[in-house]
């Protein structure tokens, strides 16, 4: 392994990045005038900022490292490690209006609207634990990856954690979601650079596309094969994990509901995620280049995930390595910043205001959000300094989000779902998950390695519990249910309506939602004026699937070059 090539030019590039992004974030703090601006950007973010926000928040520094390592070892087909969520991305278009139409500040408030305050409290506790653990693992993950990319001894991972935290805390504390969203947009360009930066130099060294094909076996260039180690059932369960889990993640309100219109939220979340799928092609192809590089140079890597760091040190000259490290920082700082704002919103709106100071002024709420977000992020930093293994922790947090997602998604898709069924669903899913895993490995652990069958049994048990217990117990208050679903059926695009005037019906604007009270599709009412009522959903959903098809075709075409 080559020694660290980190030079003073690289240090200068890295310092310029930190200073630049921090000053830009602080500059945006002047736009914060209220708690609504701090937590939700006054719901006026343009679509292009929403795309950058969704892309940056959903991308972590470990993703290119893991993907490149897998591709270098087993071939391009391992792209399905990341592309497991490709098949759910079009559904973001259908689900996005749920959050904006609830007119909530946090997902916990939305849970409270649907099921009452007790389940909102349960969700709040889950969300805060989710954010703390995610921030910690993201920070530590970036620290370890940056340390490896610079040679292992040049930068200590814990130093990376502290520097990153200091930078994003500073502008997030004062600038809230506005500073977070705009800095995420800027950092999204660095993440795209991260995806493709090693490819030109790598192709030059290995002899271009022809050299790539001459060095590696043919099965390395398949889009799907057994080398992916993911059979159809596992991909289906990972897809279900992503689809249900993402609905209940605490930062979804900022991802979907902060745009200036419902379409801004739809475009932002759907195509921000598509941008991540596009970058995955670059990470997977980089892995092929590294595989050819280590064969040609006769290098033996102890761990496939060292491939990315090896390529950085082997291919990047002075200044470029510093840019690569800056890109790795950007991939995690953006997500941590967004979670800090969401943590402050959760504590303020679901704990401080209802239970500590119901009469708090808007200014008090804004400062409470700032300090609570700071304190909770501090807990995440402490967690980061103590955690060692990060990959299992990430998969675990995504899985428990799916278990919470049963009650969240079920509450939108089925009017009859009630709080008793929702709580039973969550408890049953967790219980079955741990029982099945324990029986498989004969060891009780908090975090198990993700396997398809335990997850499948847990989701099946949780869904069955939601249905059976809801049917056997008393229905929710009719007024609450009618109010919740009436909001889901009204467009939020019109601002400043006269007092007392209801929001316009979404059906009159072609904005009715396909994913709303699914049993209602058995009635004739839901089929009247089908195209007129649902054309926003139908057109957007179809276009998203065309983009998915185009992405698959692009990936296939790339690995054919040079054959």
Residue 120's contacts (CB-CB under 8 Å, 6 or more residues apart) are 108, 109, 111, 112, 350
Continuous H helices in 489-529: none
pLDDT interval class at 316 (50, 70, 90): confident
pLDDT interval class at 441 (50, 70, 90): confident
Instruction: Flag whether 419 is in a domain.
Output: no
In the DSSP assignment, the letter for residue 260 is S
Q: Which domain holds residue 305?
A: 8-391
Model confidence, pTM: 0.91
Tokens standing for 553?
Answer: 């075709």
pLDDT interval class at 387 (50, 70, 90): low
Among candidate residues 447, 397, 449, 403, the one with its CA nearest the CA of residue 134: 397
pLDDT interval class at 190 (50, 70, 90): confident
Instruction: Flag whether 443 is in a domain.
Output: no
CB-CB neighbours of 375 under 10 Å: 12
Tokens standing for 510?
Answer: 């072609």
pLDDT interval class at 228 (50, 70, 90): low
Q: Domain of 294: which CATH number?
A: 1.20.1730.10
Residue 31 and residue 33: Cα distance in Å, rounded? 6
Top pLDDT among 120 and 323 is at 120
Least confident of 149-163, 249-263, 296-310: 149-163
Q: What is the C-alpha R_g of the chain?
A: 24
Instruction: Flag whether 267 is in a domain.
Output: yes
pLDDT interval class at 154 (50, 70, 90): low
- Tell me which residue has tokens 């019109």: 494
Residues 70 and 225: beta-carbon distance below 8 Å: no
Residue 285 and residue 72: Cα distance in Å, rounded? 9
Residue 444 is predicted with a pLDDT of 85
Residue 393 is predicted with a pLDDT of 61
Assign 163 to helix, strand or coil: helix
β partners of residue 196: none
Instruction: Flag whether 428 is in a domain.
Output: no
Residue 394 is predicted with a pLDDT of 62
Residue 368 and residue 224: Cα distance in Å, rounded? 50
Residue 484 and residue 481: Cα distance in Å, rounded? 5
Residue 209 is predicted with a pLDDT of 95
Instruction: Flag whether 227 is in a domain.
Output: yes
pLDDT interval class at 3 (50, 70, 90): very low
How many domains are there within the chain? 1
- Tell me which residue has tokens 């009412």: 525
- In our burial notation (b when 16+ CB lie closer than 10 A, e otherwise), range 317-333 reads eeebbbbbbbbbbbbbb
Tokens standing for 204?
Answer: 């030059």
Instruction: Flag whether 360 is in a domain.
Output: yes
Assign 19 to helix, strand or coil: helix
Give the mean pLDDT of 153-169.
78
Among candidate residues 348, 398, 84, the one with its CA nearest the CA of residue 248: 398
Residue 324 is predicted with a pLDDT of 84
Residue 149 is predicted with a pLDDT of 67
Residue 391 is predicted with a pLDDT of 54
Instruction: Flag whether 176 is in a domain.
Output: yes
β partners of residue 490: 505
Q: What are phi and psi of 45, to 5 degrees?
A: -75, 135
Residue 229 is predicted with a pLDDT of 66
The yes-or-no verdict on residue 458 having pLDDT over 70 is yes
Instruction: Flag whether 199 is in a domain.
Output: yes
pLDDT interval class at 153 (50, 70, 90): low
């Amino acid at each position: 392994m080559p020694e660290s090539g980190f030079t003073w030019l690289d240090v200068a590039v890295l310092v310029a990045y930190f200073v630049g992004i921090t000053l830009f974030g602080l500059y945006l703090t002047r736009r914060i005038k209220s708690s609504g601006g701090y937590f939700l950007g006054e719901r006026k973010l343009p679509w292009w900022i929403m795309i950058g926000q969704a892309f940056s928040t959903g991308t972590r520094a470990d993703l290119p490292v893991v993907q490149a390592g897998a591709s270098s070892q087993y071939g391009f087909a391992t792209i399905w490690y990341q592309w497991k969520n490709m098949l759910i991305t079009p559904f973001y278009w259908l689900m996005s209006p749920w959050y904006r139409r609830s007119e909530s500040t946090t997902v916990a408030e939305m849970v409270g609207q649907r099921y009452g305050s007790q389940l909102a409290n349960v969700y709040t506790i889950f969300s805060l634990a989710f954010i703390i653990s995610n921030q910690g693992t993201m920070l530590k993950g970036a620290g370890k990856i940056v340390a490896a990319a610079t040679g292992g001894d040049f930068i200590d991972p814990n130093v990376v954690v502290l520097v990153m935290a200091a930078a994003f805390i500073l502008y997030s504390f004062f600038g809230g979601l506005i500073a977070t969203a705009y800095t995420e947009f800027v950092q999204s360009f660095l993440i795209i650079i991260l995806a493709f930066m090693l490819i030109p130099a790598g192709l030059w060294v290995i002899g271009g596309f022809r050299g790539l094909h001459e060095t590696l076996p043919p099965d390395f260039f398949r889009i799907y094969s057994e080398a992916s180690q993911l059979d159809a059932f596992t991909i289906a369960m990972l897809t279900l994990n992503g689809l249900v889990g993402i609905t209940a993640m605490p930062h979804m309100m900022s991802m979907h509901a902060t745009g200036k219109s419902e379409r801004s939220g739809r475009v932002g979340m759907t195509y921000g995620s598509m941008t991540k799928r596009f970058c995955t092609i670059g990470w997977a192809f980089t892995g092929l280049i590294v595989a050819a590089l280590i064969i040609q140079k006769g290098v033996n890597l102890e761990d496939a995930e060292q491939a990315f760091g090896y390529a950085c040190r082997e291919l990047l000259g002075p200044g470029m390595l510093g840019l690569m490290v800056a890109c790795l920082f950007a991939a995690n700082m953006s997500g941590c910043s967004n979670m800090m704002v969401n943590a402050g919103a959760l504590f303020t709106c679901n704990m401080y205001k209802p239970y500590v100071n119901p009469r708090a002024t808007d200014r008090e709420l804004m400062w409470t959000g700032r300090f609570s977000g700071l304190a909770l992020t501090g807990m995440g930093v402490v967690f980061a300094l103590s955690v060692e293994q990060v990959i299992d922790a990430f998969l675990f947090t995504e899985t428990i989000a799916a278990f919470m997602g049963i009650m969240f998604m079920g509450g939108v898709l089925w009017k009859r779902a009630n709080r008793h069924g929702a709580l039973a669903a969550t408890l049953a899913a967790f219980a079955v998950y741990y029982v099945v895993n324990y029986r498989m490995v004969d060891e009780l652990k908090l975090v198990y390695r993700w396997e398809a069958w335990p997850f499948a049994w847990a989701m099946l048990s949780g869904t069955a519990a939601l249905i059976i217990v809801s049917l056997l117990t008393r229905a929710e208050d009719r007024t609450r249910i009618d109010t919740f679903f009436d909001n889901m059926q009204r467009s939020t695009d019109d601002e400043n309506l006269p007092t007392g005037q209801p929001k316009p019906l979404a059906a009159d604007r072609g904005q009715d939602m396909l994913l709303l009270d699914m049993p209602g599709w058995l009635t004739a009412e839901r089929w009247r004026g089908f195209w007129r009522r649902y054309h926003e959903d139908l057109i957007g959903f179809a276009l998203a699937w065309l983009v998915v098809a185009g992405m698959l075709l692009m990936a296939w075409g790339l690995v054919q070059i040079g054959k």
